[in-house]
Structure 1
Amino acid sequence: MSKSAGRGHPSPASSLAAYVFQGPVQVAIRTRTNDQPRYVDTRLNVWTWYDGGVALKIDWAELDLTPEFNEIAKGFMAYALEKYAPQTAFMFVRSLVYLSGTNLARHFPWEHQNLIAHLDGFKRSRHNLIGFRRLYRWGLDRGIKGFDSSTYLKIKDVKLDRVDPYSRIFLSQTGLDLEEEVRLLKRIERNISSESWEEVQFNTVLHLGFELAPRSIQFHSLEISDFEFVESTDKNKYYTLWLPMAKKVGQRRPERRPRKVTTRLGDKISQHILEIQRRFGSNCEPLFVNSNGRRLSVTEIITGLKHELSEAGIDKPNQVTRLLRHHLGQGLADQGTPADMIAELLGHNSTVAARAYVTATPNIARIKEKALGKSPAYQRIMRSLLTGEVVQRRDTAAERAIRGVIDTQYIGDIGACALPVHTHCPYNPVYACYTCKKFHPFADGRHEQVKEALQREAQRFIDTAEQAGDLIHNRPLAQHQTTILAVSATIERCRQRTEGAADDAV
């Protein structure tokens, strides 16, 4: 068995020798479908594998690594391709590409202090840091010369500069509003000429996205055999789609879970299958194909869905399947579905994301919409109830200006207090100001800075509450959410005041 395959440990004597990659010639990779290559040829200068119909590559000549480290990198990538999902292995490629742009690529073994100095660059990207950490652990576990435990512990302790990908999910959910949902349903239910089978196909994709909200890779992986129906004695049909799970850790092939679909969608899929088998033969396996009968790639699926959403009058080009997933998740939560059930239906590995939908109740969602200034009636209410009039900074006495600390950050220049100068306010400055009639916001105040600081602090409440299992009955979090909404309303009022003044000047 070769060293690169990651089996066993070399002897102490061999660990002193330079590592040489000796195979395997073909690395078996995890595949989602039967029509994509299952092996990577390690004899080539460019290793290529596929996921979602898209080619993923690593060009060893372009990396420009030292000969010794190039051998180590090949061994690590052979191990990664066999052990991890294709996209995870490609994440390690991006880490190697970043490393090749540093002077670490010119010298190996690395000097301890030089390596530690470069960790600041790695920690700016989650992918780069995770990839480099796995590479170093892999080399250390195999006793390869140039890897030591003390340096690995330093690498392990490095924290990312960027926030965790889930860190603000509770404050950033998006979906479809009522008008957009109506337009989307009209797009789904429209009559389409049977001659335009590709248009019919993407109408089916859109309908499926609305009902089950699969990821693009799940659309790509669907087979005709994943669709089933049962006809009862009274001629009623019941349809099931065995949806491949996209993000289940440790599985070599996607697990499939049954999902019921409506009769309307089931009829569409049935007709679609008959049409593509008529066009491309009964041996056609993919459920969604291009004009040549080949499985649609994730890129083609996203492009087609973007077009469908655009035609429905939904202008959110950077959100496609994610938009539909958020909409389904929020809709389930609004109907009282528990977080663990939402996580199961959306194929999440944890309930972290699902809890965001549960906390965003319908009332809060409506308040958010109004707080962003979309309702003129609500704007009038906010002007009369939340704060005093918007004022200009230059017209305010300095001793009336409000300053405070949020999230350990000093913030000033947000507005003025109408209380007598020497009166002690019984409430916490800044936190309470945006719901106080005595507060007069500056038209050009730093309200965005206040909002960002409140969101960071609220996220810490969320993290702590989730660990304690008491996310729903968390009063500090509810207070922060109310304040954040009030700050958003103030930002909108200030914007309207500034634009109104500009119009008057013209």
Structure 2
Amino acid sequence: MTIDWAEFHLNPELIQIAKAFVAYALEKYAPVTAFKASSVLSRLAESDISSKFPWTRQELVATVSAWTKFRESIIFFRTFYRWALDRGMSGFDKETYLALKDIKTSRLEPYERIFLSQSGLALDEEVQLLKRIEREISSGCWKELQFNIILHLGFELAPRSIQFHSLDITDFEFVEIADHEKYYTLWLPMAKKVGQRRVERRPRKITSRLGEKISRHIAEVQRRFGLNCEPLFVNSRGKRLSVQLIGLGLKHELLEAGVEKPNQVSMLLRHHLGQGLADQGTPAGMIAEVLGHNSTVAARAYVTATPNIARIKEKALGKSPPYQRIMRSLLTGEIVQRRDTVAERAIRGVIDTQYIGDIGACALPVHTHCPYNPVYACYTCKKFHPFADGRHEQVKEALQREAQRFIDMAEHAGDLAHNRPLAQHQVTILAVSATIARCQQHMEDAEDDAV
């Protein structure tokens, strides 16, 4: 991003003031925001008052009033005028600033153009993306590994392109405890907030798989470019990878994974993460914190879209053969026999005041307490190994009865459309149905093998 000051045919005194303002904007805002603020100077250079300074109140208000279709230009010019006024610069007065504040703009509602319910990844696209992330990459292809890490990190934390660009090797940390078990943390740089002069970094936990990839990548980068190399993502010369190259590389990875949405790259993964969190019942404040938003406006939009998505999953995806195949293969672990499982690993629980057992086994260590509700959460957990002849039909019937009670209570309260427990039950019932079909297929295959 460059500014050619010679092309602005402005008063020389005003040029000097504008340069000081851009320096201030670069210190306070993100670079792209400061660059946008400088664009108002080109609009000013095209006006009738380009060579005049100081301006009269009438001619300045008349000029800025003609920009009503360019809301950002008016906002940035007000900011510029207020900045100069606060510093007591000659040619700027309070009465003119108040007159500028009275100029109306064609205001858009926040996030009016966002159609969040269709901006994330479809279920089959997510499966293809995970396969792309989990593929094995030879140790000699460090560039390919680097972009695989960017894709993986985009799926887990959904940073903006500028956040990828700003990451340093020192932002990556890990802690090793007993039994050589490691926990990985990434100090993710946040976009500059209003009033902040330094970039804030917040700790984000990442999976062991991603942490191991980053460890290998750092070792290779330091081997190639020396121990003093600071950026986490680098180009072939060891310099910090640019935002443009990050965007192009991420777009290539998405296309290779079969996700063909050319106009959405990092924002696609951000919308997918935000909507996924909302679908799981995450509060708007937590979604805003994870995504690094200044407010909960966008997060509330994700939450608002959730009931519609739940109904679509129930009515459309639940009857779709591809969706059923994916659910059968991904929601739980492998199917096992009851006789091959120790009693301590068996799962038991209560649904709709009914005790239910003999449904499967948990792969967690015997003395580990699962943080989720048994039975309810098992059918969407990879640690759950369903019994081939388990009482899954009993679970489904109990969930359906409990869901009906939620429907009855919601209808009585007049809040059926936004009943999150009901939406969660519908998803769980679909998962149980998929497990039943998968177990039936498993038993039929076993009979065929026996014959």
Which TM-score tier does this pair reach, normalised by the shorter chain?
A: 0.5 to 0.7
CA distance 1:80–1:273, change in 2 (3 Å): closer
Q: Secondary structure at the match of 1:252?
A: coil
Q: What aligned pairs does 1:273-312 form with structure 2 within 5 A after superposition?
A: 273-312=218-257
Residue equivalent to 1:176:
121
1:124–1:162 Cα contact (<8 Å) kept: no
How far residue 288 of structure 1 moved from its aligned partner, in angstroms, is: 0.8
Does the aligned pair in 1 maintain the 2:57–2:96 contact within 8 Å?
Answer: yes
1:211 to 1:255, Cα distance in 2 relative to 1, 3 A: same
Alpha-carbon distance in structure 2 between the residues aligned to 1:102 and 1:375: 59
**Unaligned regions of 5+ residues in structure 1, if any?**
1-55, 378-472, 479-506
Which SS does the other structure have where 2:205 is aligned? strand
Which structure shows the bigger proportion of residues in helix conformation? 2
Post-superposition CA distance 1:83-127 (Å, at most 9, x none): 444333222211111111111213333343333332244332233
Deviations 1:22-79 (A, max 9, x none): xxxxxxxxxxxxxxxxxxxxxxxxxxxxxxxxxx332221101123433432343344
Summarize the alignment of residues 3-402 of structure 1 with structure 2, pairs less than 5 Å apart: 56-169=1-114, 174-361=119-306, 363-365=307-309, 367=311
- Quick check: 1:169–1:353 contact (8 Å CA) kept in 2? no
Residues 37 and 76 in structure 2, CA contact (< 8 A), matched pair in contact too: yes
Q: Residues 68 and 281 (structure 1 numbering): CA distance in 2 closer, same or farther, change over 3 Å?
A: closer
Query: Displacement of 1:135 after TM fit?
Result: 1.9
In the alignment, the residues of structure 2 paired with residue 246 and residue 173 of structure 1 have an alpha-carbon distance, to the nearest angstrom, of 25
Q: How does 1:466-505 map to 2 (within 5 A)?
A: none
Counterparts of 1:421-500 in structure 2, within 5 Å, are none
1:394-444 superposed Cα distances (whole Å, 9 cap, x missing partner)? xxxxxxxxxxxxxxxxxxxxxxxxxxxxxxxxxxxxxxxxxxxxxxxxxxx
Matching residue of 2:441: none
Q: Which amino acid aligns with 2:309?
A: A
Deviation at 1:326, TM superposition (A): 0.6
Per-residue displacement from partner, 1:200-225 (whole Å, max 9, x unpaired)? 11011100110011111111111111
Secondary structure of 1:243's counterpart equals: strand
Superposed CA RMSD in Å reads: 2.9
Give, in whole Å, the separation in 2 of the partners of 1:342 and 1:109: 47
Distance 1:85 1:184, change over 3 A: closer
3-state SS of the aligned residue for 2:203?
strand
- Deviation of residue 128 (structure 1)? 1.0
SS across alignment from 1:107: coil
Distance in structure 2 (CA, Å) of the matches to 1:374 and 1:178: 9
Distance 1:376 1:234, change over 3 A: closer
- Aligned AA (1:191): E
- TM-score where L is the length of structure 2: 0.66
Distance 1:347 1:80, change over 3 A: closer
Change (3 A) 1:155 1:375: farther
In the TM superposition, what is the alpha-carbon distance from 1:247 to its structure 2 partner?
3.6
Counterpart Cα distance in 2 of 1:300 and 1:176: 23
User: Would the alpha carbon gap of residues 222 and 170 (structure 1) be closer, same or farther in structure 2, given more than 3 Å must change?
Assistant: same
Q: Alpha carbons of 1:76 and 1:211: their partners in 2 closer, same or farther (altered >3 Å)?
A: closer
Residue 233 of structure 1 deviates from its aligned partner by 1.1
CA, structure 1 residues 366+172, in 2 after alignment: closer, same or farther (shift >3 Å)? closer
Kindly tell me the number of residue pairs found equivalent between the two proteins: 326
Q: Which moved more, 1:169-178 or 1:308-317?
A: 169-178
SS state at 2:180 partner: coil
> Please, which moves more after superposition, 348-357 or 168-177?
168-177
Say if 1:185 and 1:134 are closer, same or farther in 2 by CA, change over 3 A.
same
Report the alpha carbon displacement of residue 189 of structure 1 after superposing the two structures with TM.
1.0
Give, in angstroms, the shift of residue 337 of structure 1. 0.8
CA distance in 1, matches of 2:56, 2:257: 58
Letter in 2 for 1:113: Q
Matched residues in 1 for 2:51 and 2:26: separation? 25
Residue type matched to 1:271 in 2? R
Alpha-carbon distance, 1:320 to partner? 0.7
Paired residue for 1:34?
none
Do 2:284 and 2:296's aligned partners in 1 also have CA atoms closer than 8 Å?
yes
The 2-side partners of 1:192 and 1:95 are apart by 47
The alpha carbon displacement at 1:236 in A equals 1.4
Residues 67 and 172 of structure 1, relative CA distance in 2, 3 Å threshold: farther
3-state SS, counterpart of residue 15 of structure 2: helix
Q: What is the CA-CA distance between 1:239 and the residue it aligns to?
A: 1.0
Residues 245 and 254 in structure 1, CA contact (< 8 A), matched pair in contact too: yes
Aligned 8 A contact 2:30 2:192 in 1: no
Please give the per-residue CA displacement for 1:226-250, whole angstroms capped at 9, x wherever unaligned.
1111222112111111111124332
CA contact (8 A) 2:55 2:91 kept: yes
Mapped contact 1:247–1:348 kept (Cα < 8 A) = no
Cα distance in 2 for residues equivalent to 1:117 and 1:154: 10
- TM-score (normalizing by structure 1): 0.59
1:133 and 1:172 mapped to 2: Cα distance? Answer: 35
Shift of 1:261: 0.8
